[in-house]
Structure 1
Amino acid sequence: MPDYGVVSYGLKQLEETSDKPFFLAIGLVKPHMPFSVPKKWFDMFPLDSIELPPYREDDLDDVPPAGVRMAGPQGDHAKILESGRWKEAVQAYLATIAFCDAQVGRLLEGLEASPHRDNTIVCLWSDHGWSLGEKSHWRKFALWEEPTRTVFVWKVPGVTTPGGVCPRTVDYSSVYPTLCELTGQPLPEHLDGRSLLPLLKDPLVKWDQPSITTHGFQNHTVRTEGWRYIRYANGDEELYDTANDPLEYTNLASRTEHVTHKQELAKWLPTKGPSL
């Protein structure tokens, strides 16, 4: 498996000593499709033990046309239902995740056994979440909770607390400024992101910035601890009270009592694209 070899490379690098700082990027392909890993990982999740994700057939009824097009219910989901292999698809995803977890474990165990364990910053992240049929949608390519929620873990010796969990909403624009601040590097003026150092020190410290995700041209979502607001390029909207509706079943965007919520969240929408 290529990912096994990549981690083995990282472990070899961690055995070396140097009086200079180092940067080590270990990129795993899995759990990207295809979900092909050795059988032992599938055996960890017997098919009769698999539970399907929460699903409602009417979940797209209050989603605007732009959102329905993004969901693509007549694409992957229709094919999965026709094949009758929904549980097998979930099993394959879990098996692939378990394989990936094991590789991350190998790397972290190697770091703990290395001379760098007490002075190395670790940042573990995944590039996107994954839908397994929620809202009749599969893969990434959407702006709801499942495809946008990701793995994001930091370990900073002398700063973070083992086992700490942070409930604040953040996004990946924070990675670079955080690394700069932790390593004493100057911050470029053009950055939009904000350093996470205050949250690394205290996961419950006040944090007033939401996470922002974009998929496609001018399709954005703003996520706070209690709300998700989506605005598509054509102006279609979705609004979810995620504190009380974590599965995002009820789109509140058209309800007049939530106009203020939409206006407050809309202030965070990007107003310019990336510089190329």
Structure 2
Amino acid sequence: MTWKSMSLFAILLALVFKLVNAGTPRDSLRDERPNFLFIAVDDLRPQLGSYGDSIAITPNLDRIAEMGMVFNKAYSQQAVCAPSRASVLTGRRPDATKVWDLKTHFREALPTVVTLPQNFKLNGYEARSVGKIYHDTQRLQDTASWSSPAVLEITGEAGPKYVLPSNQPTQKTWKKDATERADVSDSAYVDGKVGVAAVKAIRELKDTSFFLAVGFRRPHLPFSAPSRYWDLYNRNDLPLPSHMNPPEGAPKIALHRGVELRGYQDIADSGRISHDKIRQLHHGYYASISYIDAQIGMLIDELEKQGLLKNTVIVVWSDHGFHLGELGLWAKTTNYELDTRVPLIISAPGQKTAGSKTDAIVELVDLYPTLSELAGIPLPEDLDGESLLPLLQDPSTPWKNRAFSQFPRPWMYKGEPKIMGYSIRTNDFRYTEWRNVKNGTIAATELYRYDESGIEEVNLSGKPCYRSIEISMKKRLLKL
């Protein structure tokens, strides 16, 4: 029986689960059934005003932070789109979903799983999707998750990455310049279209209990944004990365050539990227962030206009981080801090800790139980995360002190990955083992100690003075 044919069975199981757990109490953070605005931003690292970035112009995201809580140490479970999103939306780690690449559907391994939005749908919510929520190919969508067909979910069909004639796709490639600046309206690009469609959805849903997922594609490459957002920044004010070389002693398997960026026509296939080009890319990344911030502002304004803001849980998250030349790396696909650490902001009705921050280590896999508990709806028993409600009530609550991430090598692979890099992050250290998938032998290890820069500098694995720490980290990693 295929996962498609078993989806009805999954729904029946979930309905039974709902009836059994109908008496689940609701959390004290709210007095009535809240709505949910679930905002995903692709490739966004914590480069926001609310995260202390003095350059970023993000007034709307900062506004959400003022209404809610900023999680300073939130981590993705795998730093690339499809695996991370499958993990978030199923509440399971990549080894449970068996999604480690950009082609596998999580229902191949978990045919009857009830996804996060599906759980809301089965418990009386209208579950809608606008933009990129699952990875944006047709075969990776999941109709069982939504109450009605998803909108603008497929890149290429949803709207353009480029608008300038010189950047239009050819038969050879769609990848043209890595950045684009055009004097056009916001809705000329796909994310502006997503913003407009999401505002429309809020108007349609205003008299329902809703779970509205809205996914923005920028600041994913290419860094395309209307000129007005580029104009917010002076390129000469943008600093170069402080650490532009790989960590000392890092194994080759942990690194990559930056193929995602190298594929653009204005980027050399190999060699160092010039300082001028680095600043241009940073400029485009900042412009893209401010562009998305403006679209999110439209959603918040519409919630307020409809009288829904005070009763809507707002969640902002990114599927993973991004390297912008740090460690000589570009884009994602590593286990390093800049790829695995993500922004996470949660604002809930009645939240007494509005405007607060927490340094507790949390994971994106924690979102499923957190949001379900905020809604007072039942949870599946085999979720891998844990609810963050105690932290929302008190950011100083004692909490778990580790997060797990992983990434396969080679990337990209065919069939099954040969090596899997398993990584554990604690308050001060990251330990990674690169394990042979078939026999479990270890191909390489890494141990890094972090200072305020949050950058890996020297691989300490194997150094006698760190032996006890490495042994302790290894034991904890084996418990995963």
Q: State the TM-score, normalized to the length of structure 1.
A: 0.88
Match of 1:228 in 2: 430
2-structure distance, mates of 1:114, 1:266: 52
> Structure 2: where are the runs of 5+ without partners?
1-188, 263-267, 409-416, 437-441
CA positional deviation for 1:73 = 7.0
What amino acid maps onto 1:61 in structure 2? E
Match of 1:199 in 2: 391
> Structure 1: where are the runs of 5+ without partners?
none
Match of 1:71 in 2: 256
Match of 2:198 in 1: 10
What amino acid maps onto 1:265 in structure 2? M
1-structure distance, mates of 2:258, 2:217: 27
| Greater relative CO, 1 or 2 (CA 8 Å, sep 6+) | 2
Q: How many residues align?
A: 269
1:176 aligns with 2:364: no
Match of 2:242 in 1: 54
Q: What aligned pairs does 1:85-234 form with structure 2 within 5 A after superposition? A: 85-159=277-351, 161-216=353-408, 217=417, 218-234=420-436
2-structure distance, mates of 1:162, 1:246: 26
Query: Which segment drifts farther, 130-139 or 72-81?
Result: 72-81
CA deviations on 1:84-129 (whole Å, 9 max, x unpaired) are 5111111111111111121122212222332221221111111110
**CA distance change for structure 1 residues 229 and 112 in 2, over 3 Å: closer, same or farther?**
farther
What amino acid maps onto 2:240 in structure 1? L
Match of 1:30 in 2: 218
CA RMSD of aligned residues (A): 2.4
**CA distance change for structure 1 residues 244 and 265 in 2, over 3 Å: closer, same or farther?**
farther
**CA distance change for structure 1 residues 183 and 270 in 2, over 3 Å: closer, same or farther?**
farther
What amino acid maps onto 1:72 in structure 2? R
CA positional deviation for 1:132 = 0.7
1:40 aligns with 2:240: no
**CA distance change for structure 1 residues 226 and 113 in 2, over 3 Å: closer, same or farther?**
farther
2-structure distance, mates of 1:179, 1:82: 44
Contact 1:17/1:115, CA 8 A, preserved across alignment: no
Contact 1:14/1:116, CA 8 A, preserved across alignment: no
Q: State the TM-score, normalized to the length of structure 2.
A: 0.52
CA positional deviation for 1:79 = 4.6
CA positional deviation for 1:147 = 1.1
Match of 1:262 in 2: 470
2-structure distance, mates of 1:253, 1:220: 14
Secondary structure of 1:199's aligned partner: helix
CA positional deviation for 1:6 = 1.5
Contact 1:240/1:252, CA 8 A, preserved across alignment: yes
**CA distance change for structure 1 residues 257 and 168 in 2, over 3 Å: closer, same or farther?**
same
Contact 1:173/1:192, CA 8 A, preserved across alignment: yes
Query: Which segment drifts farther, 254-263 or 133-142?
Result: 254-263
- Greater share of strand: 2
